[in-house]
A = this chain, B = another copy of it.
Amino acid sequence: MPSSEERLIKVMKALADGTRLQLFKEIASRKQMTCTEVGEISDLAQPTVSHHLKLLVDAGLVNTGKNGRFVILSVNKEMTSELSEFLKNIINTEK
């Protein structure tokens, strides 16, 4: 299997969870968010939020940066777009 497919499988695993999908959508709907802000919009405990964010970051769906003492999260649009295109190409490969 090509390594790009392995990466996209990891992306789909990360998104195939209701909590992570909601967090991902929230981050995507803004330009950027801090971890604290993500925790505030969620009913979940901070360690749970951190766990889910880590999986999104590890899959390459969310980028992290630093702004002073704040960790800034933003969506990796290229990765999301790559998965979207990958799926579209699969159904356009009919021989």
Contact = CB atoms under 8 A, between A and B. Distances in A.
Interface stretch (A4-12, A44-52, A64-72): A4-12
Given A5-B21, A12-B15, A29 B93 contact: yes
Nearest to A76: B91
A43 to B, nearest CB: 13
Interface residues of A, number: 33
Contact of A87 (B13, B22, B84): B84
A14 to B, nearest CB: 9
Given A80-B90, A80-B91, A87-B83, A18 B5 contact: yes
A75 interface: yes
Contacts of A1: 18, 21-22
11 contacts: A5-B21, A6-B18, A12-B12, A12-B15, A12-B16, A28-B90, A28-B94, A29-B95, A30-B94, A75-B91, A84-B85
